[in-house]
């Protein structure tokens, strides 16, 4: 009886040992298979792919609108921005405008008091009266010469005096007109002790740099006037992209400090010299501001210049997934034995997006006619991320 029980115990031990070895072998094979699957990518059967909506297809060649990205800022042409300068020094009597005020060309912006102005007007009146006498003498000598009664010498002397006095009078009139004073009003007895400062263009008053009562030297700018109706954009295009940029191309501008507002424009000029040592060339673009947005010179913009359609490798937008600041597609291969499809994540860079397609450039060379996941890439990414966490 004791021998029978011992035999049964030995048999049970042997069976347990064999069973444990088989289980360990099975677990090892399963672990190897799982590891192999993770090394080769994600394996899905046709039924699994259909249930989650995964579709595959080739990397296509699409005609997409190529763009050149450039940065710059808004500016106005030189003829649309004016410094209001003083021709003759003096004390500011009045400033008639405020910063931001709209003004028109010829409007009085300020007045300048100048004691020398009185002497200029006196000299003008003296020259005017003297010219009246000289002109009468010249007319008399002309008549005598025509009648053959005068001498040539007297006529020549009166003619020379007439021309000299006329030039002097014209000079005084020009000085008064430059100061904004009408010579006709002075002839009627309106002597002034101050002259107006007139706006050279129509626009908006900018920074005013002087105060009432301040003395200003000749040539000093006391304010500026800017006409924003002709505002344009100066973009910096670097040497590698310069050959693609031409006059007439469309531009989309994004105002970086204005809630990323987008406006359109057209390239109307390309400089022919580099700016400093940046190896960049300034490109000028006219802005289409039909919405009358508040555009101010100096605003920074990011622009996309459309350089024309170009045949380039592209995939549907949904085929590209983003992870940890990088972009990927899933390349497929098929098991001949079980018919399962393996999806391998491959890093790419992207470019133009148009009509539901996005340009891609794989970082590693891919075989010709390679197939990728065109739909369901997000599911594959989620499954891959879940598998990595599980591992």
For 122-137, the pLDDT digits (tens) are 899 999 999 998 999 8
Per-residue pLDDT tens digits for 8-20? 444 444 344 445 4
Taking every pair of C-alpha atoms in the chain, what is the biggest distance, in angstroms? 179
Calculate mean pLDDT across residues 322-343: 85
Mean pLDDT of the chain: 82
HSE, side-chain direction, 13 A CA sphere, residue 219: 0
Nearest to 329 by CA among 368, 362, 367: 362
With a CB cutoff of 8 Å and minimum separation 6, the contacts of 227 are: 76, 80, 81, 201, 202, 203, 204
**pLDDT for res 211:** 92
For residue 161, what are its two tokens? 């005096």
- Looking at residue 222, what is its pLDDT? 93
- The per-residue pLDDT for 267 is 92
Q: What is residue 352's predicted lDDT score, i.e. its pLDDT? A: 79
Q: pLDDT at position 27, please?
A: 47
226 or 5: whose pLDDT is higher? 226
Average pLDDT of 206-218?
A: 91
pLDDT digits (tens, 9 = 90+) for 57-113: 999 988 887 788 888 899 998 899 999 998 888 999 999 999 999 999 999 999 999
Please tell me the predicted confidence (pLDDT) of residue 292.
62
Rg (CA), the chain: 43
Angle at which helices 116-147 and 152-178 cross, to 10°: 150
- Which pLDDT score, from 0 to 100, does residue 284 have? 92
pLDDT at 388 over 70: no
Q: What is the mean pLDDT of residues 143-162?
A: 81
Calpha distance 262→240 (Å, rounded): 25
- 293-314 pLDDT, tens per residue? 778 888 888 888 888 777 889 9
C-alpha distances in Å from residue 197, one per residue of 176, 211, 362: 12, 14, 65
Distances (CA, A) of 147 to 143, 144, 150, 159, 368: 6, 5, 8, 17, 107
pLDDT of residue 336: 60
Percent of the chain with pLDDT over 70: 86
Judging by DSSP bridges, how do beta strands 108-113 and 194-198 pair with one another? antiparallel
Pairwise CA distance, residues 301 & 228, whole Å: 16
Query: Is residue 205 predicted with pLDDT exceeding 90?
Result: yes
3-state secondary structure the chain: CHHHHHHHHHHHHHHHHHHHHHHHHHHHHHHHHHHHHHHHCEEECHHHHHHHCCEEEECEEEEEEEEEEEEEEEECCHHHEEEEECCCCEEEEEECCCCCCEECCCCEEEEEECCHHHHHHHHHHHHHHHHHHHHHHHHHHHHHHHHCCCCHHHHHHHHHHHHHHHHHHHHHHHHHHHCCCCHHHHHCCCCCCEEEEECCCCEEEEEECCCCCCEECCCCEEEEEECHHHCEEEEEEEHHHHCCCCCCCEEEEEECCCCCEEEEEEEEEECCCCECCCCEEEEEEEEECCCCCCCCCCCEEEEEEEEEEEEEEEEEHHHCEEECCEEEEEEEEECCCCCCEEEEEEEEEEEEEECCEEEEEECCCCCCCCEEEEECHHHHHHHHHHHHHHC
Mean pLDDT of 152-162: 86
Q: Does residue 200 contact residue 82 with C-beta atoms inside 8 Å?
A: yes
| Lowest-confidence pick of 48-62, 188-202, 275-289, 358-372 | 275-289
Q: What is the pLDDT confidence band of residue 29, given thresholds at 50, 70 and 90?
A: very low
Q: What pLDDT digit, counting tens, does each position of 220-262 carry? A: 899 999 998 888 899 999 888 888 888 989 998 887 666 667 7
């Amino acid at each position: 009886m004791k021998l029978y029980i011992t035999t049964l115990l030995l048999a049970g031990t042997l069976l347990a040992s064999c069973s444990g070895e088989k289980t360990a072998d099975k677990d090892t094979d399963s672990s190897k298979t799982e590891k192999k699957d993770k090394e080769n990518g994600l394996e899905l059967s046709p039924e699994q792919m259909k249930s989650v909506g995964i579709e595959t297809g080739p990397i296509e060649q699409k005609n997409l609108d190529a763009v050149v990205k450039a940065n710059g800022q808004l500016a106005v042409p030189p003829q649309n921005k004016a410094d209001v300068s003083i021709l003759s020094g003096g004390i500011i009597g009045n400033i008639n405008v405020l910063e931001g005020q709209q003004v028109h060309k010829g409007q009085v912006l300020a007045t300048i008091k100048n004691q020398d102005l009185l002497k200029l007007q006196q000299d003008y009146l003296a020259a005017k009266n003297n010219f009246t006498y000289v002109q009468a003498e010249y007319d008399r000598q002309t008549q005598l010469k025509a009648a053959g009664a005068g001498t040539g010498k007297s006529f020549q002397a009166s003619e020379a005096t007439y021309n000299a006095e006329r030039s002097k009078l014209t000079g005084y009139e020009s000085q008064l007109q430059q100061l904004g004073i009408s010579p006709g009003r002075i002839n009627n007895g309106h002597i002034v002790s101050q002259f107006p400062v007139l706006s050279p263009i129509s626009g908006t008053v900018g920074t005013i740099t002087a105060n009432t009562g301040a003395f200003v030297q000749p040539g000093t700018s006391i304010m500026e006037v800017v006409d924003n109706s002709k505002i344009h954009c100066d973009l910096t295009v670097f040497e590698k992209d310069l050959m693609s940029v031409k006059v007439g191309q469309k531009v989309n501008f994004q105002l970086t400090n204005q809630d990323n507002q987008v406006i359109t424009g057209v390239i109307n000029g390309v400089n022919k010299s580099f700016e400093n040592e940046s190896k960049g060339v300034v490109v000028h673009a006219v802005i289409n501001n039909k919405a009358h947005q508040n555009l101010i010179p100096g605003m920074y913009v990011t622009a996309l210049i459309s350089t024309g359609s170009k045949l380039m490798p592209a995939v549907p937008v949904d085929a590209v997934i983003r992870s940890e600041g990088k972009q990927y597609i899933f390349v497929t291969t098929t098991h001949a034995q079980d018919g399962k499809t393996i999806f391998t994540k491959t890093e790419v860079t992207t470019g133009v997006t148009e009509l539901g397609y996005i340009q891609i450039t794989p970082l590693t060379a891919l075989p010709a006619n390679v197939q990728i996941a065109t739909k369901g890439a997000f599911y594959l990414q989620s499954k891959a991320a879940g598998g990595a966490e599980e591992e």
